[in-house]
Amino acid sequence: MFWKESPTHTVKWMNLEDFTPSEINLSLKDKYCRIPRKKSGWEGAEAYNELQEICSTETQECSSRWPKTKSKMQFLKKGSRSEEEHHAPAVCQEERSKDISQLVQEGRFLEACETISRSAVEKQDCGSQYQAVAQGMWQVVQEALSGSERSRQLQPKLQSVMAAVNWAENFEGPKPSTLQGGGLAAWDSQLQSLLRKDAEARLPGPVSGAELSGYLEELGKAVEHVLGPQLEGRLGVCFLALYRVCFQEVLCSHLSVLLSSSGEDRKNYYKLYTWGRATLFGHREMRQKAPPASKEPTAARRLLDPVMFVTWMFQVQEKLLELIQKELKDKLERVLIYDRRSQAESSYKTFLEIFQLLNETIVVGRDIGPPISSRVRIMVVGTFLEFLNRYQEEGAPSFIQLHASAGTFPQLHVLENCCILRKTWEALVQEGPVQGIINSIEVWSQDDLLSRVRALFQSLLEHHFSTRNDDLVQALQSLQQALKGCSNMHSTPTYKVLVKSLYMVVLGEYVHALVTYLKTLEPGVWADREGQVKKEVLELDTIFGEREQDVGDRMPCWETIKDIFQLRQNRGRESLHEWLASFRDKFPGYVREDQPRSSSDSDKRSCCCLQLWTSAWCRACCPKWRWS
């Protein structure tokens, strides 16, 4: 060490390495010159020379010692620095850990993360420190969710939690290898998992369909309680948004379980739909004599996002519609089954129930409310259209084939059903493709009926005038009884058109058979049949008296037919041909054209039983006719 006098004449000690040789020389001068200045001239000169020699010698010695001294001091200084550097990281890390712990305790999680990230830049693995931050954050979240008295004081800390989670999600620095649970990127999912667990604990667990009503009531109360006005005060606006999303996801999960466990019971889905409209979408039921509900939504209703539940609500609607349609289809299927079984009077009423079934289904949709009500109505019309197509393709042909025994007219039953279906359709809608389907069924059934009636009366009239049996009368009475049984068809235009067509077929076949029979007789004996013919023609007119008559439409009657007995006897068969041709011209469509008889028919001498349609009016023993 060396001393040096400062300009203020104060002495201080300094390191030798801090001086240059010239400074040392000056110091030596100061050292040896601390003597009184007042001396004689010679003594002063000697002293001065002596001082110069001493300074020169000291300077040389100091210069020779300077490199060695400097190197020693540099070595000592270097050792001192290396020792400081060895102990500095431990001290710094300990101080930084104290700072991070303090930040975590104060709820300044984002600052703690940023501090730790700076340590990570210095190649220090800070996984344990991040873990401590995460534990502190989750502890704050749980304390806020518990609803403690100091929950309002936790809002700044919750905001810091959100900021730290967002920071960790977007962190691009070095990832700590010792951090468990997926690292920093997993903080967001860990936070959401924590919030979902809290929501799970606050909602009642799903139950079976038998206890659905009570469960939905309990679930609604839980939703109102959890998302009540106190929630925003506990969590704050920022954190509330995340909790709200997690809560709604848990609620959706519970509702999905209910949806899958409700089975095929339409009432359960109706309960779910009604509850969802009221609780999730805020559509309350409007009941009579009920006080008007407040238009202000509840706190829970404001927090619930309907978009989250649109998919679930749509699934409930679709399942509800599916079950309603299934019930309607099952009922309509039973109508077809009962209609096929018997042609008794009770079976006629089955089609009368169709409108009631359709209307009941529409009422069910109306009670549920929009938009189900409009969709149910569309579904009912579509289902009814499917039913008509089935009846056209399967129902009507199957019924006619099943009941095509002798003495019956199943086509009339089908035609009456068509009248009922037309009334049903008109009660639902006024226009549409249904009218065409019903018309097609009517035309097909009427053509089939006329064809069978024509074949029946051809067989009955072939030997009617020669045998004078009662088969024709019985057939007419049976047809009349069948027409009277179609009470639901009497007031319709279809019935009058049908009666006219039947009258034309029966009277035309009667006239044709009469002319054919008179050809086999001598003209002189024709008058013997006049009384029988008059009685039967008037009977026909009575049976088919409700036939349609257009303005200017000429209808044949007894006055027209009796002219055949006034023909000139000398002309015979020629006059019959002329009369029949005149009848065809006056009344087109009544008398069919003569069909040439085949060679097999001309060679035939006898016949066995008549066809199925004829046997109902034949005697117990089939008569054997012989051709002349």
The DSSP string of 520-550 is TS-GGGGGGGHHHHHHHHHHHHHHTTT----
State pLDDT tens for residues 396-417.
Answer: 999 999 888 767 899 999 999 9
Q: How confident is the model at residue 178 (pLDDT cuts 50, 70, 90)?
A: low
Task: Report how far residue 315's alpha carbon sits from residue 329's, in angstroms, rounded to the nearest whole number.
Answer: 21
Range in 188-202, 411-425, 524-538 with the lowest mean pLDDT: 524-538
Q: Is the confidence at residue 14, as pLDDT, over 60?
A: no
Q: According to the model, what pLDDT value does residue 415 have? A: 94
Mean pLDDT of 469-475: 86
Bond prior to 67 in cis (omega within 30° of 0): no
Is residue 235 packed enough to be buried (19+ CB in 10 Å), middle (13-18) or exposed (0-12)?
buried
Smallest CA-to-CA distance from 170 within 245, 237, 117 is with 117
**Contact (CB, 8 A) for 497 and 548:** yes
Q: How many helices (H) and strands (E) does the chain have?
A: 24, 2
Q: What is the pTM of this model?
A: 0.67
Q: According to the model, what pLDDT value does residue 558 have? A: 84
Q: According to the model, what pLDDT value does residue 448 have? A: 94
Task: Report how far residue 216's alpha carbon sits from residue 222's, in angstroms, rounded to the nearest whole number.
Answer: 10
State pLDDT tens for residues 565-618.
Answer: 877 655 667 788 888 888 888 888 888 776 444 333 433 333 333 333 333 333
Find where tokens 């990127």 sit. Answer: 185
Smallest CA-to-CA distance from 519 within 572, 566, 467 is with 572
Q: According to the model, what pLDDT value does residue 174 have? A: 62
- Percentage of the chain modeled with pLDDT above 90: 25
Is residue 450 packed enough to be buried (19+ CB in 10 Å), middle (13-18) or exposed (0-12)?
middle
Range in 91-100, 220-229, 382-391, 460-469 with the lowest mean pLDDT: 91-100
Is residue 184 packed enough to be buried (19+ CB in 10 Å), middle (13-18) or exposed (0-12)?
buried
* Phi then psi dihedrals of residue 606, to 5 deg: -150, 170
Smallest CA-to-CA distance from 155 within 247, 243, 234 is with 234
Is residue 534 packed enough to be buried (19+ CB in 10 Å), middle (13-18) or exposed (0-12)?
middle
Q: Is the confidence at residue 48, as pLDDT, over 70?
A: no
Q: How confident is the model at residue 430 (pLDDT cuts 50, 70, 90)?
A: low
Q: According to the model, what pLDDT value does residue 347 have? A: 46
H-type helices in 204-228, by residue range? Answer: 212-226
Q: Is the confidence at residue 39, as pLDDT, over 60?
A: no
SS (H, E, C) 368-422: HCCCHHHHHHHHHHHHHHHHHHHHHHHHHHHHHHHCCCCCCCHHHHHHHHHHHHH
Q: How far is CA 233 from the centre of its chain?
A: 37
What is the three-class DSSP state of 126?
A: coil
Q: According to the model, what pLDDT value does residue 338 have? A: 86
Q: According to the model, what pLDDT value does residue 539 have? A: 87
**Contact (CB, 8 A) for 113 and 165:** no
Find where tokens 């639902």 sit. Answer: 428
* Phi then psi dihedrals of residue 593, to 5 deg: -75, 145
Higher pLDDT, 150 or 379: 379
Q: Which two tokens stand for residue 388?
A: 């008509």
Distances (CA, A) of 506 to 451, 503, 531: 11, 5, 19
Q: According to the model, what pLDDT value does residue 615 have? A: 38
Find where tokens 């979408």 sit. Answer: 281
Q: Which two tokens stand for residue 237?
A: 């606006």
* Phi then psi dihedrals of residue 5, to 5 deg: -90, 130
Higher pLDDT, 320 or 121: 320
**Contact (CB, 8 A) for 457 and 505:** yes
Q: How far is CA 506 from the centre of its chain?
A: 58
- What's the CA dihedral at 333, 334, 336, 341 to 10 degrees? 150
**Across 77-86, 406-415, 503-512, 562-571, which has the greatest mean pLDDT?**
503-512
Range in 92-96, 143-147, 273-277, 303-307 with the lowest mean pLDDT: 92-96
The average confidence (pLDDT) of the chain is 76
Q: According to the model, what pLDDT value does residue 20 have? A: 54
Kindly report the length of the chain: 628
Task: Report how far residue 347's alpha carbon sits from residue 376's, in angstroms, rounded to the nearest whole number.
Answer: 28
Sign, CA torsion 232/238/244/246: negative
Q: According to the model, what pLDDT value does residue 547 have? A: 65
Structural element, H or E, at residue 3: strand 2-5
The domains of the chain are located at 2-79, 109-199, 203-286+297-304, 450-628
Higher pLDDT, 170 or 300: 170
Smallest CA-to-CA distance from 161 within 180, 187, 195 is with 187
**Contact (CB, 8 A) for 291 and 276:** no
Structural element, H or E, at residue 14: strand 11-14
Name residues whose C-beta falls within 8 Å of residue 378's C-beta, 6 or more positions apart in sequence: none
Higher pLDDT, 485 or 47: 485
Q: Is the confidence at residue 392, as pLDDT, over 90?
A: yes
Q: According to the model, what pLDDT value does residue 362 have? A: 93
Range in 107-111, 143-147, 267-271, 296-300 with the lowest mean pLDDT: 296-300
Q: Is the confidence at residue 555, as pLDDT, over 60?
A: yes
Q: Which two tokens stand for residue 187?
A: 């903080």
Structural element, H or E, at residue 517: helix 493-518
